[in-house]
């Protein structure tokens, strides 16, 4: 920054801004607790320092010139910044309140977030949380959400992302379902099993084959795009599905379906927009989510 280019006094700039906002020297003087001659001298000194005319004096009214209109926008931003400095010095900026929208899957929202949000309520009671449950990627740049929990890394430079950890996932089934088979299942049994689909069955088959299971879309006899409903079908013994360990661990009525199939791992990313660096509200929720999602990792899960 070229500090020598700043040739005016903030008090003069403040006098100009308040005069522009109030519409007259007398009203501005009352707002600032100054005499009208003192305020008038400060505005005149700013005009002289900048070499521009800021007001046209018409009868008893003051009309902003084009230069004054342009300058008022810049000085208004300075005034907002000065207010934030004063708030920070007084401790008022420590107050964290307002709405934060979190985009995540319905399963994450239903099973993992409650404990995290319960703790957040105690830490920041002034924050209002809205969860946007979707299995598609919310457009944070269009402010569909403030923060997103994703399984893919964003590739846009306007977004800030932090990888929280890798999460294990397995094939799970209801205990009642497995008891009916009369024997432990192995991957060779997969071709004769019914699986529960979520949304895209072709994509699900691809994930199942990553586990080494020889299955096709014909194995998916029941599906629902609502993850909580699909998971309930599994818990009711209607079929098998892939599920994150941290969600299955909260359901004692399910267990890993195959004794010879190892888990796969998928990443958990926390994503937000650049307001993270300027909004205490967004920063507080983001950091709390990061801490909570890390703690929610099942024992033995790989962190990175």
Is residue 24 one of the residues assigned to a domain? yes
Are 130 and 182 in the same domain?
A: no
Average pLDDT over residues 29-54: 87
Give the range of the structural domain holding residue 220, as residue numbers without chain letter.
167-265
Average pLDDT over residues 238-256: 94
Are 233 and 107 in the same domain?
A: no
Are 186 and 233 in the same domain?
A: yes
At residue 239 the predicted structure's pLDDT band, cuts being 50, 70 and 90, is very high
Is residue 303 one of the residues assigned to a domain? no
Give the end of a domain, one of 93, 119, 149. 93
* pTM across the whole model: 0.65
Of residues 281 and 277, more confidently modeled? 281
Are 144 and 157 in the same domain?
A: yes
Average pLDDT over residues 131-135: 83
Are 128 and 212 in the same domain?
A: no
Is residue 302 one of the residues assigned to a domain? no
Of residues 278 and 296, more confidently modeled? 296
**pLDDT for the residue numbered 95:** 57
Is residue 252 one of the residues assigned to a domain? yes
- Residue 89, pLDDT > 60, answer no
pLDDT in tens, 104-129: 999 999 999 999 999 999 888 899 99
**pLDDT for the residue numbered 213:** 93
Are 75 and 157 in the same domain?
A: no
- Number of domains observed in the structure of the chain: 3
Give the end of a domain, one of 42, 67, 93. 93
Is residue 304 one of the residues assigned to a domain? no
Is residue 107 one of the residues assigned to a domain? yes
**pLDDT for the residue numbered 54:** 87
Are 175 and 249 in the same domain?
A: yes
Are 62 and 80 in the same domain?
A: yes
At residue 303 the predicted structure's pLDDT band, cuts being 50, 70 and 90, is very low
Are 115 and 42 in the same domain?
A: no
Secondary structure, 3-state, the chain: CCHHHCCCCHHHHHHHHHHHHHCCHHHHHHHHCCCHHHHHHHHHHHHHHHCCCCEEEECCEEEECHHHHHHHHHHHHHHHHHHHHHHHHHCHHHCCCEEEEEEECHHHHHHHHHHHHHHHHHHCCCEEEEEEECCCCCCHHHCCCCEEEECCCCCCCCEEEEEEEEEEEEEEEEHHHHHHHCCCECHHHHHHCCEEECCCHHHHHHHHHHCCCCCCHHHEEEECCCHHHHHHHHHCCCCEEEEEHHHHCCCCCEEECECCCCCEEEEEEEEEEHHHHCCHHHHHHHHHHHHHHHHCCCCCCCCC
Average pLDDT over residues 29-46: 88
pLDDT in tens, 160-174: 889 999 999 999 999
Q: What is the overall mean pLDDT for the chain?
A: 85
Q: What is the CATH number of the domain that holds 216?
A: 3.40.190.10
Q: What is the CATH number of the domain that holds 69?
A: 1.10.10.10
**pLDDT for the residue numbered 304:** 40
Are 215 and 290 in the same domain?
A: no
- Residue 265, pLDDT > 80, answer yes
Give the end of a domain, one of 93, 128, 154. 93
Of residues 29 and 82, more confidently modeled? 29
Is residue 300 one of the residues assigned to a domain? no
Are 113 and 85 in the same domain?
A: no
Are 82 and 212 in the same domain?
A: no
**pLDDT for the residue numbered 93:** 45
**pLDDT for the residue numbered 256:** 95
Is residue 301 one of the residues assigned to a domain? no
């Amino acid at each position: 920054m070229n500090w020598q280019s700043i040739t005016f006094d903030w008090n003069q700039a403040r006098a100009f801004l308040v005069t522009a906002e109030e519409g007259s020297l007398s009203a501005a003087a009352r707002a600032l607790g100054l005499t009208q001659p003192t305020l008038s001298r400060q505005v005149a000194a700013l005009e002289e320092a900048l070499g521009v005319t800021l007001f046209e004096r018409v009868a008893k009214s003051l009309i902003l010139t084009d230069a004054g209109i342009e300058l008022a926008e810049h000085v208004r931003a300075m005034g907002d910044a000065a207010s934030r400095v004063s708030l920070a010095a007084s401790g008022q900026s420590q107050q964290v309140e307002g709405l934060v929208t979190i985009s995540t899957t319905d399963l994450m929202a239903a099973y993992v977030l409650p404990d995290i949000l319960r703790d957040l309520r105690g830490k920041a009671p002034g924050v209002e949380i809205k969860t946007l449950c979707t299995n598609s990627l919310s457009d944070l740049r269009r402010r569909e959400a403030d923060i997103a929990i994703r399984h893919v890394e964003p590739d846009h430079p306007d977004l800030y992302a932090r990888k929280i950890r890798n999460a294990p996932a397995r094939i799970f089934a209801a205990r009642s379902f497995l008891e009916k088979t009369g024997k432990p299942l192995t991957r060779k049994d997969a071709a004769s099993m019914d699986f529960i689909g979520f949304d895209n069955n072709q994509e699900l088959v691809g994930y199942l084959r990553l586990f080494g299971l020889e299955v096709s879309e014909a194995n998916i006899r029941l599906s629902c795009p609502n993850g909580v409903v699909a998971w309930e079908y599994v818990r009711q013994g209607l079929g098998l599905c892939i599920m994150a360990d941290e969600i299955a661990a909260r359901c004692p009525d399910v267990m890993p379906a195959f004794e010879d199939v190892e888990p796969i791992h998928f990443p958990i990313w926390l994503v937000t927009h650049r307001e993270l660096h300027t909004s205490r509200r967004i920063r507080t929720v983001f950091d709390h989510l990061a801490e909570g999602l890390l703690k929610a990792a099942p024992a033995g899960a790989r962190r990175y």
